[in-house]
Amino acid sequence: MRVILEDPYERDLFHPGEREAHRRFGVEAEAREMKGTVNDALSAGNARFIASQPFFFLALQGADGAIHTQMLACAQTPLGTYPLVAFGDARCFYFLLNEREGDVLLAQAHGAGCQAGLVFMGFGHRARLRVNGLLRLANGDALPGFQCPDGHRLMEVRVEQVYANCGTRVVRLKAA
């Protein structure tokens, strides 16, 4: 027997595309049950998981409606390797974007920014963390004392939703 406790006054967390996917795959009840696991800020555990990853995937919808996806890794520069992300607080983190490789993301992130979805995968433990939020170019003073390396832009993600995804289909990888 399934028991689903729902708040009739709660706003719907899922956008129309997510609700359609839930309907198509027959997981609407499970999605309703999972609402309580969606947070609007990173926990310390989320931050540790994100910081331990060598890369993440970022997707956004362009003004033309096209979906753009990119894998982003730790920035390699002549000055050394930079961490994957830097945390401002529980609702904000930053990453470096190579200007040559991230032209589509840069174009969308100007001004007020754009909605983006990020997925961090822990292949060794078959774990997956999803972050939805606002992607934009960071202000020059976002990280006091930080100087952005040549050829890169500091990007900001304002967290709106964070939740663990099912790791069932995450392939367990082993170091070579």
Q: Determine the average pLDDT of the residues in 131-144.
A: 93
Architecture per CATH, 44-165: Roll (2.30)
Instruction: Report the percentage of the chain scoring pLDDT > 70.
Output: 85
Of 5, 106, 127, 10, give the one whose Cα is nearest residue 58: 106
User: Could you tell me the two tokens for 174?
Assistant: 């082993």
The pLDDT score that the predictor gives to residue 6 is: 57
DSSP per-residue letters across 91-147: TEEEEEEETTT-HHHHHHHSTT-EEEEEEEEETTTTEEEEEEEEEEEPPTTSSTT--
Instruction: Tell me the domain boundaries of the chain.
Output: 1-6+13-37, 44-165
- pLDDT at 7 exceeding the cut of 60: no
**What are φ and ψ of residue 92, in 5° steps?**
-155, 135
Per-residue pLDDT, averaged over 69-80, amounts to 91
Residue range 25-62, pLDDT digits in tens: 888 887 777 767 888 999 999 999 999 999 999 999 87
